[in-house]
């Protein structure tokens, strides 16, 4: 479909979400299943290809429009994490891929024939210290031979392609820690027959995360995305987009919690009047509203800078931190407003509460964001 405005995007996404109500998401959460039907309809309707240029079958819109899609999904009680990576991982191929890679993959991703939803960066012993990854890709005649391990890599079981970050030079042989790292676009189905083992992780949220083990996994030469040894730059653009997009999800979560809490506070009668009449109930909800609306402005600013191809690292990080903090606070207040009923699955507060809690930690923790602001914005000494 041709999307003409952010308002139209929001209205259209909301209509799709209404077809997949709380009972749908509640059942998937209970059974730890992936929302294949929802993701397919979002793809077929053109909402997951908004960032792909029209020449490759996409809508050719900006990050602001993509943010509107994810915010609206979260606002309507759905789980945007099931499909958000289709947007920001694709950007690495769009900005750094070869003409052949773009022509081969982007039209199929846009049409829903291929899913690129996995971003294999994190490792058990490196965490957010990305430059200290140990997964190594050795150059051989036929391409590359990969050995190592990744953890907390989401949606691998429901993706066809994956962006993999691996060292191609030992860290002790490079001048800068960010050098000697390369990015690769992996066909997951082929890789499973060539040394890739996927092991699902049981966790508190239905995020379909896995551990990955690479044992002499051979991938072809054309898997390389961007320049050899320069893969850190390839993923940095994607990381800024990821932070901004996830911040928009948090805005949606926060507004979801505020609406739920407000509606319940107006209808719940205790001691002969609605609990929303009590300042001890209404003030926390009002404060959450103020925090969410403030964070939303920073998300809009960061997305606008990204769309203008201007530097947006500080804004992307600040937007993610403020939005995640605000949504977590709103979730806590919603739980408190509902009281004991907040813990009941039938009200869906506890499900969304678990989902939004993740963003205090992922894709980057608030402490690392504070360290980034201190060093790169305030020019304070590096703390680690």
The pLDDT of residue 112 is 93
* Contacts for 225 with CB less than 8 Å, ≥ 6 apart: 92, 93, 96, 97, 101, 163, 183, 184, 185, 231, 234
Tens digits of per-residue pLDDT, 45-93?
A: 999 999 999 999 999 999 999 999 999 999 999 999 988 998 999 999 9
CA distance 129 to 337: 38
In a domain, 1, yes or no: no
Residue 38 domain-assigned?
A: yes
The last residue of a domain, from among 204, 229, 254: 229
User: How many C-beta atoms surround the C-beta of residue 298 within 10 A?
Assistant: 20
Total domains in the chain come to: 3
Task: State the average pLDDT over residues 6-35.
Answer: 96
Instruction: Tell me, yes or no, whether 272 and 367 share the same domain.
Output: yes
Residue 225's DSSP bridge partners are 183
Q: Is residue 324 part of a domain?
A: yes
Do 67 and 128 belong to one domain?
Answer: no
Domain that holds residue 284: 233-377
Same domain, 177 and 271: no
Q: Which stretches within 147-200 are classed as H helix?
A: 188-192
Q: Looking at the structure, do residues 150 and 210 belong to the same domain, yes or no?
A: yes
Which candidate, 332, 325, 313, 329, places its Cα nearest to that of 371? 313
Residue 373: asked if its preceding bond is cis (omega within 30°), the reply is no
**242 lies in the same domain as 369:** yes
Q: Among 272, 187, 244, 210, which Cα is nearest to 64's?
A: 244
CATH number of 270's domain: 1.20.140.10
CATH code: domain of residue 28: 1.10.540.10
Condensed to tens digits (0 to 9), the pLDDT of residues 161-214 reads 999 999 999 999 999 999 999 999 999 999 999 999 999 999 998 889 999 999
The total number of residues written for the chain in this structure: 384
Cβ neighbours of residue 16 closer than 8 Å, sequence gap 6 or more: 38, 41, 42, 45, 47
Tokens of 262: 């407000």
Domain at 175, CATH number: 2.40.110.10
Burial of 279 (0-12, 13-18, 19+ CB in 10 A): exposed
**Would you place residue 154 in the very low, low, confident or very high pLDDT band (cuts 50, 70, 90)?**
very high
As to burial, measured by CB atoms within 10 angstroms (0-12 exposed, 13-18 middle, 19+ buried), residue 209 is buried
Q: What is the pLDDT of residues 110-124, one digit of tens each?
A: 999 999 999 999 999
160 in any annotated domain: yes
Residue 382 lies in a domain: no
The answer to whether residue 275 sits within a structural domain is yes
Calpha distance 198→195 (Å, rounded): 10
CA nearest 354: which of 332, 321, 337? Answer: 332
pLDDT tens for residues 274-309? 999 999 999 999 999 999 999 999 999 999 999 999
With a threshold of 0.85, does the pTM exceed it?
yes
Domain for residue 360, yes or no?
yes
One domain, residues 218 and 239: no
Are 172 and 90 members of one domain?
Answer: no
Closest CA to 216 of 134, 120, 137, 124: 137
Q: Of 180, 213, 229, which residue sits at a domain end?
A: 229
CA distance 358 to 371: 20
- Check whether residue 143 and residue 110 sit in a common domain: no
Residue 297 placed within a domain: yes
Q: Are residues 279 and 356 in the same domain?
A: yes
What average pLDDT does the chain have? 95
The dihedral region occupied by 5, where left means phi > 0, alpha psi between -120 and 50, and beta the remainder, is: beta
- Cα–Cα dist 150/215, whole Å: 12
Single residue among 229, 253, 279 that ends a domain in this structure: 229
If DSSP codes are grouped into helix, strand and coil, which group holds residue 106? helix
pLDDT at 4: 55
Mark whether 134 and 241 lie in a shared domain.
no
The pLDDT, as a whole number, for residue 1 is 46
Please give the angle made by the CA atoms of 249, 255 and 260, to the nearest 5 degrees. 125
Give φ, ψ of 303 to 5 degrees: -65, -40
Regarding whether 212 and 145 lie in a shared domain, the answer is yes
CA neighbor of 228 nearest in space, from 314, 298, 308, 137: 137
Indicate if 101 and 11 belong to the same structural domain: yes
The residues, any chain, with a CB within 8 Å of residue 48's CB and separated by 6 or more, are 39, 42, 69, 83, 86, 87, 112
């Amino acid at each position: 479909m041709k999307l003409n405005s952010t308002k139209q995007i929001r209205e259209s996404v909301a209509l799709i979400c209404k077809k997949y109500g709380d009972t749908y998401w509640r059942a998937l959460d209970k059974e730890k299943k992936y929302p294949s039907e929802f993701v397919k309809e979002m793809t077929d309707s053109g909402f997951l290809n908004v960032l792909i240029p029209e020449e490759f079958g996409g809508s050719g819109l900006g990050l602001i429009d993509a943010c509107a899609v994810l915010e609206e999904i979260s606002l309507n009680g759905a789980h945007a994490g099931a499909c958000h990576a289709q947007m920001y991982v694709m950007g690495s191929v769009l900005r750094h891929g070869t003409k052949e890679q773009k022509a081969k993959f982007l039209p199929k991703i846009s049409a829903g024939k291929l899913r690129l939803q996995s971003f294999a960066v994190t490792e058990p012993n490196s965490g957010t210290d990305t430059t200290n990854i140990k997964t190594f890709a050795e150059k051989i005649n036929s391409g590359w031979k990969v050995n190592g391990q990744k953890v907390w890599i989401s949606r691998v079981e429901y993706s066809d392609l994956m962006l993999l970050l691996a060292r191609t030079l030992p860290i002790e042989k490079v001048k800068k820690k960010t050098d000697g790292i390369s990015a690769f676009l992996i066909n997951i189905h082929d890789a499973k027959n060539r040394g890739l083992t996927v092991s699902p992780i049981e966790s508190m949220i239905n995020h379909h995360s896995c551990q990955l083990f690479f044992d002499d996994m051979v991938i072809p030469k054309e898997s390389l995305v961007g320049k050899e040894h320069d893969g850190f730059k390839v993923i940095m653009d994607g990381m800024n987009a990821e932070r901004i997009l996830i911040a928009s999800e948090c805005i949606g979560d926060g507004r979801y919690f505020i609406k739920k809490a407000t509606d319940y506070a107006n209808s719940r009668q205790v001691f002969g009047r609605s609990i929303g009449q009590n300042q001890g109930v209404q003030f926390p909800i009002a404060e959450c509203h103020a925090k969410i609306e403030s964070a939303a402005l920073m998300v809009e600013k960061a997305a606008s800078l990204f769309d203008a191809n201007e530097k947006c690292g500080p804004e992307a990080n600040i937007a993610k931190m403020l939005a995640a903090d605000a949504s977590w606070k709103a979730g806590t207040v919603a739980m408190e407003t509902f009281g004991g009923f907040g813990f009941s699955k039938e009200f869906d507060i506890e499900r969304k509460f678990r989902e939004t809690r993740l963003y205090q930690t992922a894709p980057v923790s608030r402490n690392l964001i504070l360290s980034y602001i201190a060093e790169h914005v305030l020019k304070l000494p590096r703390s680690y």
